[in-house]
Amino acid sequence: MDSYANFAGKDRKILPSFSIVSNARGLGVALTSMLEAQRERWPLWLPVMLGVGIGVYFALCIEPPLWSGWVGAAVFAGIAWRAAARGRTLAFLGAVAVTTLAVGFALAGARTWWLAAPVLDREIGPVTVTGQVARVEPTERGRRVTLERLTIPRLSPDRVPRAVRVALYGTEPDVRPGDWLEVRAELSPPPPPAMPGAFDFQRQSYFQGLGGVGFAYGAPTVVGGAPDAGADSLAFAWERGRTAISERILRHEAGETGAVTAALMMGERGAIPEDVLEAMRASGLAHLLAISGLHVGLVAGIVFFAVRALGALVPPLALRFPVKKAAAVAAIAGAFAYALAAGATVPTQRAFLMAALVLTAVVADRQAISMRLVAWAAVAILVVSPESLLGASFQMSFAAVVALVAVYEALRARGWLAARGDGWGARLARYVLGVALTTAVAGVATGVFAAHHFNSVALYGLAANMVAVPVTALWIMPWAVLAYALMPLGVEGVALAPMGWGVDVVLATARAVSSWPGAVGMVAAFPAWGLSLVAFGGVWAALWRGGLRAWGAPMAALGLASAWTVTPPDVLVHDGGRLAAVRGADGRYVFSTLQSGRFERDVWLRRAGQGGAGERWALDAGRDGVRCDALGCVWRGAGRAVAFATALEALDEDCSTADVVVAGEAMAKDVQGCAAPLFIGADDLRRWGTHALWFGPGGGVRVETVAQDRGLRPWVAGRSR
């Protein structure tokens, strides 16, 4: 006892460190044991870590060296090998995770390098553009063509984009994919984000191969036809076939019904009227217009059950051949044909891959739907097109699929999905409950992503989907498959007419639900790191089993709490100073003009969680704090004065009295020597893009610009300036 007392008294400083070490070792042993118990779930984290690496790559403000990711992957792969050899589970898993992250980082860099192509750095035109038509898309006002193999007289060959997209209006010749077209057009770079943090159409265009967009003056001229032989002729023939099918659909079904029918069958949404799109969004039915897992899965399922039923009607065939497996192969072929008909976009490719994996599992006598199949589908997509991770389509579709598989895995484990000898009434009730559960789970899983990307939530989406999803699954898509089958005979109208009836039911449902009071809840933008935490927390809860999954809840909660860390800008300035917005005392934006910048106004309002078309600020200081005269306007709010000068004569007074001076495009050049604490000239706006300003309580001002937010990346037009 004495010796212990002496030890405790003289050397008690050793005890805390000993306790920390022992506790750390105990925690490591416990964590290792928990992970070892879930060894079969480890592969499910491969797409997650790939996605983390891809996300890190796109979050950078500078382009990293192409070799950096591969070197990192090689180093940590070696560490993982050594950890495995020594039996260190935690070290092994950590090294594998970082290796996978580095591979995702490297794949994103390689994809960016591979797709590098010239992008317009300024507006040009009117200019005569000659190119080959790669795609024709219907729109409300005409058609839109994508031109490749371009000749643009004002540009040297090394500065000509790989492709441009031109809107055609008015009277047009019969333009088909593969034709050579000459058109007088105004071209510009793909537009940058409307404000810092907003959707980056320029980045999306880079990965689509678009180096410019524009519109035509007058009718184009067809100067050559499609090639008759070669690999290109097959691609153009397929695109011409798609265009012809779309036109046949629109001949049979006119108006909004035909436009929606074409969207469901061919993936062409450009002709859908804006009011229809708005009603579909407000009712939570917009997902029905995008060719996704629902549509591809329905086509595959219809083909599968039709072939299986026909095989069962022939007893010798059913007894001697595996009809179920043959039906699965036929369903894969049908889903593949539908994906091609719908344009084979990235979301459609993802949906086909998922359906093909499920049906391949049927052929191989494996479980048809499992989290492992979802994981491998995600791996394949991220390897082929890493940029798809940033899209709302990828995020929402995989969020829905992962959540649904996780929920149904849990229900299956409890025996709630076991087959029962129920009557038709009980089966109908189970179907209705299944639709309700599926809609609710998918709605919750995708709601945060919809709020982040679209700044709105359809509050009555469950009610709308309870009607529209069964109509789509049981009526619309079966008729669509029959219409495809009848097209070679020229009698597709027999199926398109009843399909149109179902489309009308969906549209009526969308309009009815969207008209309910409070149908749409507006949500202010929250940071990308918050969305990432929500996603990681959700994936954590879905992939692990047992007590580990509970750790996902606080991660997701912290991500949701990020919404309270964001305050909309007090002032926004865009387009050479011609469009500006200020936030009034009630928190709502008012604008300098409603005559231009409609798209930018809509983005600013949505990201602030505000709806409507916006209002022009009052021209006196009574309501909005703005006072205007012939030389410009001055806004006083948040304890600051911001001057929007439109004439040089106003600058002397504005520079001496205002905290911020914005010089409009009418100024010949940026004024030197302005005494205002912050001066924003037209050249600054052209170079840096939209400026967002926040005024702090201590007198400071924080400025963010689009260019600073994006950094120097290959998809940023004019980044070398």
Longest Cα separation, the chain: 105
pLDDT of residue 3: 44
Read off the amino acid at residue 490.
G
User: pLDDT band at residue 19, thresholds of 50, 70 and 90?
Assistant: low
Q: Are 259 and 273 in contact (CB under 8 A)?
A: yes
86 DSSP β-pair partners: none
Better-predicted residue by pLDDT, 28 or 440: 440
User: pLDDT band at residue 2, thresholds of 50, 70 and 90?
Assistant: very low
Better-predicted residue by pLDDT, 132 or 349: 132
pLDDT tens, 173-199?
888 888 899 999 999 999 999 999 999
Helix axes 255-266, 493-514, angle to 10 degrees: 110
User: pLDDT band at residue 667, thresholds of 50, 70 and 90?
Assistant: low
CA gap 426, 368 in Å, rounded: 25
Read off the amino acid at residue 207.
F
Q: Are 193 and 200 in contact (CB under 8 A)?
A: yes
Q: Are 700 and 639 in contact (CB under 8 A)?
A: no
Query: Given a cut of 70, is residue 226 above it in pLDDT?
Result: no
Q: Are 49 and 102 in contact (CB under 8 A)?
A: no
pLDDT tens, 573-625?
987 778 999 998 888 999 988 888 889 999 999 999 987 778 888 776 666 78
* Average pLDDT of the residues in 378-406: 89
Query: Given a cut of 50, is residue 474 above it in pLDDT?
Result: yes
* Average pLDDT of the residues in 252-259: 88
Read off the amino acid at residue 543.
L
Q: What is the mean pLDDT of the chain?
A: 85
Predicted model pTM: 0.86
Query: Given a cut of 60, is residue 12 above it in pLDDT?
Result: no
pLDDT of residue 6: 45
Query: In percent, how much of the chain has pLDDT > 90?
Result: 34
CA gap 534, 521 in Å, rounded: 20
Q: Are 360 and 327 in contact (CB under 8 A)?
A: no
Query: Given a cut of 80, is residue 434 above it in pLDDT?
Result: no
pLDDT of residue 420: 58
* Average pLDDT of the residues in 199-218: 92
With residue 400 as reference, give the H or E element that holds it. helix 392-413
Better-predicted residue by pLDDT, 431 or 260: 260
Query: In percent, how much of the chain has pLDDT > 70?
Result: 90
CA–CA distance from 149 to each of 134, 191, 223, 230, 344 (Å)? 10, 22, 14, 16, 22
Better-predicted residue by pLDDT, 285 or 270: 285
Cα-based angle 27, 28, 30 (whole degrees, multiple of 5) = 65
Nearest to 396 by CA among 333, 338, 454, 445: 445
CA gap 571, 584 in Å, rounded: 10
Buried (b) or exposed (e) across 76-110, using 16+ Cβ within 10 A?
A: bbebbeebeeeebbebbbebbbbbbbbbbbbbbbe
| Sign of the four-CA dihedral 290, 293, 294, 296 | positive
* Average pLDDT of the residues in 215-244: 77
Query: Given a cut of 60, is residue 16 above it in pLDDT?
Result: no
